[in-house]
Structure 1
Amino acid sequence: MANVAYQAILLLLLVFLSKEAIGFNDVKNSFPNFPPTAIFAFGDSLSDTGNGMQAFPFNMPSENLPYGSTYFHAPTGRFSDGRLIIDFIASHVPTAKAFEDGTYMISVSVNDILSRLLDQRLPPSVVNVTTVPQVVNAISEALRDLHKEGAKNFLIFNIPAVGCTPKVLTLASKGQFNSTDKLGCLEEYNALARKGNKDLELALTLLVKKDLININITVADMYSFHIDAIKSPGDYGFNASETLEACCGYGGPFNYSPLITCGQNSEVKVCSNPGEYISWDGLHFTDAFNQKFVDEMMDGMHYLKPIA
């Protein structure tokens, strides 16, 4: 199982290569060699810009409208109405000149955790002591191996507030772990995400202090931004009445149904104002959310947590 998890983490690797940092001094103080001059992205559906569609044609919902409708006006294989976080980061990157001073960006395995919670119907307490340690260990091992090859700079994305996603709210609310917080999110699932993020930061701190030398690690705190966007949607241009709803979906209080999903059924309802939504299809984020998150990170170290 550990080998499978490790291989999965390697597939979630986003490689940023940079010769020198240009601008964004506040961010640079937290994250060396930022911004990079070239990006090579290998990731899951939160960062896939079309490779899945190329590898498995006619098998991906992101091949179909309304995916891509907001920005590209056509499907591109991205699981969003428009651009992804990786696209917005790339927009700050000048033309590639060299493959030096690599910065490696790793996304934690949300799919692994959700598959245990929703598909296998394991309680959060079990996932917390089984899957979460496997994911954290896989990330640590990936960093060790990359460091052996000379990698020094890492940006790690933590787990978002999974208990606030329309998919989880729809599927998990039918089970016994369905107590909601004041935001309307499932507390047990968000508590699991917070615990996983805390364990991840502890593991990364141990790597920096005890195991690896000449290494720079920064955590991109997607969980906190996700929560802040739900708490104060107006601050980011989101509609307060739609923070827990999918823009593209069908039925129920969260506009999500596992039987009628975005891009795979003509009965799907697509909102007319995706820029005011956080969730695009029930699990993946909108173009607007992705852009706001990157803007916040670029604007003075918001949601960037250096590990020391």
Structure 2
Amino acid sequence: MASSLTSFSSQISLITTITAFFILSTLCSASPTTTKLQPHPFKRIYAFGDSFTDTGNTKSINGPSGFGHVSNPPYGSTFFHHPTNRYSDGRLVIDFVAQSLNLPFLPPYLKQKNASQGVNFAVAGSTAINHQFFVKHNLTLDITPQSIQTQLLWFNEFLESLGCSATETECKAADFEDSLFWVGEIGVNDYAYTVGSSIPDDMIRMLAISSFTGFLQALLEKGAKYVVVQGLPMSGCLPLAMSLAPETDRDEIGCVKSVNNQSYSHNAVLQSKLQDLRKQFPRAVITYVDYWNAYLTVMKNPAKYGFTERFRACCGSGEPYNFNVFATCGTPLASACKIPSQYINWDGVHLTEAMYKVVSDMFLKGSFSNPPFSYLLDKKQRQR
């Protein structure tokens, strides 16, 4: 009996081993096929924008001098575990975009050594309107002379370093066919610089969108084929806006109504201009990502996304929003919350890595991009 049981046990063991072998063989043989069916859609990313997209241009010889606090802890504490001159505790939307495309994090233009897989021209404090406009109207602290036009000049310099002239179209060395152009939100600073002035919002909106549209047109004329444009977020929900506006200026979710309306109106005009550009450049795919409504969706149901704090900044000082412009995050008087992932806002002006991850998923996988980002990827894949 014992002999029969031993024989039976041996047969079961042999069958199990053979079955496991065939399963592993099938999985191994299937892996290369799966990889081949999902090639990297883009070889590189070119990014532009302001502090929501800046991955390190702030901290440079030629960068703005007024934002030294971003080089101090606890900036970068969640993911990188040290400051990287990103305005967050970790990754930004552009970082999640790069990861989703199996590309490395983008090096900042002013410090880049290897731009073979992309480069980031975004710089904190940038405006859509040329800096001289603010100088002329005494509306600047002169800490951020860069605008979106500055970033276009940097881009032209970069192309020249590759051997392409600034006026050349279809620059082969830059390989625009395999490049994603990600244009982060820009324009919030234009409105912020004019707070308390006599310059009307309508003028800022007209000048900002005109300059920004000219920038996009320049990229498209150079041969950009795949362009993503972020709209403005709900700037009225930032602790900076909440602390400056009177409590009577609030909307249905508790944010500053006038500022959110300002961003909403800006986005409406921007989308109309993008539609004009689509008609002018029919070969290009221009995707608009709706930062405003993505932000609103989170604010209406924060618990769904893991947030317990909608308004207070994780890092800062002062009441009621843990924000004080004279004791901001990264300065000696400020301190950080223990669990940043429970907070939407990081430092009173910028978002936590957790919030950037949520909205990036909404842009890349959800319904907050028009046309959908999946459409852009599919279009790229079919043109390979």
TM bucket by the smaller chain? 0.7 to 0.9
Deviations 1:10-36 (A, max 9, x none): xxxxxxxxxxx9859xxxxxxxxx953
Deviations 1:52-72 (A, max 9, x none): 113358952110011111111
User: Could you tell me whether the CA contact under 8 Å between 1:38 and 1:94 is conserved in 2?
Assistant: no
Alignment map for 1:34-113 (pairs within 5 Å): 35-55=41-61, 56=63, 60-94=68-102, 99-101=175-177, 102-107=179-184, 108-113=186-191
Deviations 1:253-303 (A, max 9, x none): 111111111112x2212111100111100111100011111122232x421
User: Could you tell me whether the CA contact under 8 Å between 2:47 and 2:183 is conserved in 1?
Assistant: no
Query: What is the number of equivalent residue pairs in this alignment?
Result: 265
Decide which structure has the larger Cα Rg and report it.
2
- C-alpha distance in structure 2 between counterparts of 1:257 and 1:62, whole Å: 15
- C-alpha distance in structure 1 between counterparts of 2:48 and 2:256, whole Å: 30
Deviations 1:154-188 (A, max 9, x none): 110000001110011112338xxx52112110111
Once structures 1 and 2 are overlaid, which stretch shifts more, 102-111 or 164-173? Answer: 102-111
Deviations 1:61-117 (A, max 9, x none): 110011111111211111101111111111122357883413322232221122222
Deviations 1:38-64 (A, max 9, x none): 224344211111221133589521100
What are structure 1's unaligned runs of at least 5 residues? 1-20, 25-33
- C-alpha distance in structure 2 between counterparts of 1:81 and 1:262, whole Å: 10
Partner of residue 140, structure 1: 213
Other structure's SS at 2:60 match: helix
Task: Note the aligned Cα RMSD (angstroms).
Answer: 2.5
Partner of residue 304, structure 1: 369
Partner of residue 287, structure 2: 218
Which amino acid counterpart does residue 239 of structure 2 have in structure 1? P
Partner of residue 358, structure 2: 292
Partner of residue 253, structure 1: 320
TM-score for both structures, normalised by structure 2: 0.64
Out of 276, 282, 287, the residue aligned to residue 206 of structure 1 is: 276
Other structure's SS at 1:104 match: strand
Pick closer, same or farther for the CA change 1:238–1:91 going to 2, 3 Å: same
- Alignment of 1:193 with 2:263, yes or no, is yes
User: Could you tell me whether the CA contact under 8 Å between 2:176 and 2:225 is conserved in 1?
Assistant: no
Alignment map for 1:232-243 (pairs within 5 Å): 232-239=301-308, 242-243=309-310
Identity among equivalent pairs (%): 32
Other structure's SS at 1:151 match: coil
User: Could you tell me whether the CA contact under 8 Å between 1:68 and 1:76 is conserved in 2?
Assistant: yes
- C-alpha distance in structure 1 between counterparts of 2:330 and 2:284, whole Å: 42
- C-alpha distance in structure 2 between counterparts of 1:168 and 1:23, whole Å: 44
What are structure 2's unaligned runs of at least 5 residues? 1-35, 104-115, 118-173, 373-384
- C-alpha distance in structure 2 between counterparts of 1:224 and 1:249, whole Å: 26
Other structure's SS at 1:39 match: strand
TM-score for both structures, normalised by structure 1: 0.79
Pick closer, same or farther for the CA change 1:35–1:126 going to 2, 3 Å: farther
Q: Which has the higher contact order (CA 8 A, sep 6+)?
A: 1
User: Could you tell me whether the CA contact under 8 Å between 2:362 and 2:368 is conserved in 1?
Assistant: yes
User: Could you tell me whether the CA contact under 8 Å between 2:176 and 2:223 is conserved in 1?
Assistant: no
Alignment map for 1:275-290 (pairs within 5 Å): 275-290=341-356
Other structure's SS at 2:58 match: helix
